[in-house]
A and B are shown apart, each in its own frame.
Chain A
């Protein structure tokens, strides 16, 4: 059976309140940053929404979907797009900083 609506497996909609809504920690940070910036007036919600719709549409319209569906991946990309457009933080700056972070020695976040 190939029903995409997984109601019993890992993507099943949990019934209880207070469920786990993020599958990985970075997803919650990306969510929290967007909401914090919006609440601070850094951008309007429709601005962010347009960027998100564009990112999702680009993925859906791509002939070769090189990466699996990841909602928060699009969310993060949309946030970067909005900030880049505004000149707040450019995508290049993010890429450069991410590269620096990637070069940290192994175990940098372990304090023994």
Chain B
């Protein structure tokens, strides 16, 4: 017997998913092994580490930074990161006086090749609705208090654009190399709900 302990919907969604996969497989429309491969790739390979490499390179290579801000998708592809949801990446830079934060109010568009799949809070109806209306409050609740002199721009991914935030390089990291900077860059900083902290 299947028992439904936490979510009454889960068993039926699980069965419908299994049913759909059987039907698609029988009709030769999908190969379950290819589905496995995609899942494994997104569970283990494609994640915020890719974005962190992009950011660290931009911090240490002014010419790359220029290319990244001019054409995000191409500059990111230079490092070998592309794929679905990576076709129209626009990179915006945070500075001491301007702060960008990313949302997708209608669904959950997200730059998969550089950040992986979105975390649950990014998909949550509350985040999607509230960050547009009261970004300063929402960011504060998430642990990021910005001064009143900082202008906040909410980047909504409703069109064909996937936003990536280029966070500020923290003070005190001037001596670090590109490779050494990578571990400092968090997913939250690249969505704009956090800053990069020096060690």
Q: Report whether chain A binds chain B.
A: yes
Interface residues of A (CB under 8 A from B): 3-7, 11-15, 17-26, 28-33, 35-40, 42, 45-46, 49, 52-53, 56-57, 60, 67-73, 76, 79-80, 83, 88-89, 93-98, 100-102, 106
Q: Which of B8, B19, B120, B160 contacts A94 (CB 8 A)?
A: B19
What chain A residues lie within 8 Å of B125 (beta carbons)?
Answer: 60, 69
Q: Would you call B121 and A56 a contact (CB within 8 A)?
A: no
B23 at interface by CB-CB < 8 Å: yes
8 tightest A-B CB contacts, nearest first: A4-B126, A97-B19, A32-B35, A26-B14, A13-B119, A98-B19, A17-B47, A26-B17
Q: Is the CB of A21 within 8 A of B20?
A: no
16 residue pairs from A and B, CB less than 8 Å apart = A4-B127, A5-B124, A5-B138, A7-B121, A14-B119, A19-B119, A29-B35, A32-B35, A37-B24, A69-B125, A71-B108, A80-B20, A83-B20, A94-B20, A101-B18, A101-B19
Identify B29's interface contact among A21, A88, A100, A101, CB under 8 A. Answer: A88
Minimum CB–CB distance from B12 to chain A (whole Å) comes to 7
User: Which residues from chain A contact B196 at a C-beta distance below 8 Å?
Assistant: none
Q: Least Cβ distance of A64 to chain B in Å?
A: 15
Q: A71 and B121 in contact (CB under 8 A), knowing A26-B18, A36-B38? A: no
A49 and B109 contact, CB distance less than 8 A = yes
Alpha-carbon distance between A17 and B44 when the two chains are bound, in angstroms: 8
Q: B101-151: which have CB < 8 Å to A?
A: 106-109, 116-117, 119-127, 130, 138, 141-143
List of A residues within 8 angstroms of B109 by Cβ: 49
- Asked if B27 lies at the interface with its beta carbon under 8 angstroms from chain A, I say yes
Contact A40 B186 (CB under 8 A): no
Answer whether A89 and B24 are a contact pair too, CB < 8 Å, given A18-B44, A52-B107, A53-B106. Answer: yes
B121 touches A40 (CB 8 A): no
A13 and B17 CA atoms in complex are apart in Å by: 26
| Pick from A46, A56, A68, A95: contact of B16, CB under 8 Å | A95
Contact B16–A71 (Cβ < 8 Å) = no
Proximity bits, B136-172, A CB within 8 Å = 1, else 0? 0010011100000000000000001000000000000
B188 to chain A, nearest CB (A): 6
Cα A102 to Cα B17 in complex, Å, equals 12
Q: Which of B124, B186, B188 has the most CB of A within 10 A?
A: B124
Q: Shortest Cβ distance from A67 into chain B, in angstroms?
A: 5
Instruction: Check A76–B13 contact: CB distance below 8 A.
Output: yes
The answer for the CA separation of A18 and B38 in the assembled complex, in Å, is 14
Known A69-B124, A71-B120, A76-B17: A33·B47 in contact at CB below 8 Å = no
Q: Is B15 an interface residue (CB 8 A)?
A: yes
- Judge whether B30 and A40 touch: CB under 8 Å: yes
Q: Are B117 and A13 in contact (CB under 8 A)?
A: no
